[in-house]
Amino acid sequence: MHHRRYPKILCEWKDDNKHGKGTVTYADGAVYNGEWKDDNTHGKGTYTYANGAIYDGEWKDDNKHGKGTHTYANGAVYNGEWKDDIKNGKGTYTYADGDVYDGEWKDGNMHGKGQMIYANDDWLWAWRWWQNTLSDGGVLVMWEDDEFIGPIMPSLVR
């Protein structure tokens, strides 16, 4: 059996660079299908990683940049804004266990206004976040038997 050592490239070209639409299959089995500019992923495209993870969205200079959805190999999904390959702006991260964070991100961290909804509990945090850590100024909202009980002030939940 012959093993490919180099990527398989089916693209439009300009000045010896990938430019326009095309598909590259890398030696490790990863595949990028989408737009290129000056030999970089740029515009809309889908990258399927060798481990099965998939990013579908906008690219700029070989980085996730703009809006896109990253489905991780473990089943977690981030749908939102990216800047220079890092979660930045508004987005929703659904963990593999079903927990969901919906809110603001900065430098890859939950940061700013957001809420954490727990899949197996009857409560959610509506809070401000600072670098993946709960910050001041939020409420814990609880339900019992699908009936809203009300907010609980953070000072009471210690």
pLDDT digits (tens, 9 = 90+) for 43-55: 999 999 999 999 9
**pLDDT tens, 122-141?**
566 666 655 566 555 555 55
What is the pLDDT, as a whole number, of residue 138? 56
Residue 53 lies in a domain: yes
Distances (CA, A) of 105 to 64, 89, 90, 130, 132: 15, 5, 6, 9, 9
H/E segment holding residue 151: strand 147-152
Q: What is the mean pLDDT of the chain?
A: 83
The domain in which residue 65 lies consists of 1-73
Question: Of 105 and 7, which is predicted with more confidence?
Answer: 105
Asked whether residue 2 carries a pLDDT value surpassing 70, the answer given is: no
Both 11 and 64 in a single domain? Answer: yes
Whether 85 is in a domain gets the answer no
Q: Report the domain count for the chain.
A: 2
Report yes or no on 51 lying in a domain.
yes
Q: What is the pLDDT of residue 1?
A: 45
CB of 91 closer than 8 Å to CB of 81: yes
Q: C-alpha angle with apex 142: 139 to 144, nearest 5 degrees?
A: 170
The single residue listed with the structure tokens 């515009």 is 43
pLDDT at 117: 82
Within 8 A by CB and 6+ apart from 14, the residues are 20, 38
